[in-house]
Structure 1
């Protein structure tokens, strides 16, 4: 049973992204599971919405997930490189629906970039 989009599995296959957020263990954390003192750069993701497709007379065969990604880095150049690598890894599988806020994060005082993805997952 699928209960979320295959985010980690998809992004881990990207050699470019692994080089930026790795190199052996990808610093990509699901909703609040980042270390208390993280190693930079890193990225987080969380499912903030979703639904099952609705069909008359048949059970749904696909679920939709809306996912927010946030990237944190000590420098803007690294931040942009990670965002581009994530885009390139995600777009063959899902749709980026929002390029969001980029700036200095209030809590960490590091650069932060946010974007959203809609991911359709077959059951």
Structure 2
């Protein structure tokens, strides 16, 4: 079922308790728009008590430029907010982009005590991992 369809799309399967979303392409959005996308994700995870999520960042471009510190702070804040939800497992779909992988690793470090986060390059593998209890 589609929970949200705006700047990003959130799809939720209650049978598996998995939320799927494509992470926002920050190159097309302003900082406030990226923050709004992250806030939408957090609010839906909280409101639906979601415990598993698939974040697809395969098509996300991130050119932080002069806003690098703001993006890093936003990513750290997103990680902290995730820890205040019911989320316990996150699968990240990613391409082999070293810069983006560094950002993903920082999110993992921020949340590693409370949330199991793994990076996948294949959608089916990610879903299978999320579906395992």
* Greater share of helix: 2
TM-score under structure 1 length normalisation = 0.33
Give the structure, 1 or 2, with the largest relative contact order (CA under 8 Å, sep 6 or more): 1
TM-score under structure 2 length normalisation = 0.31
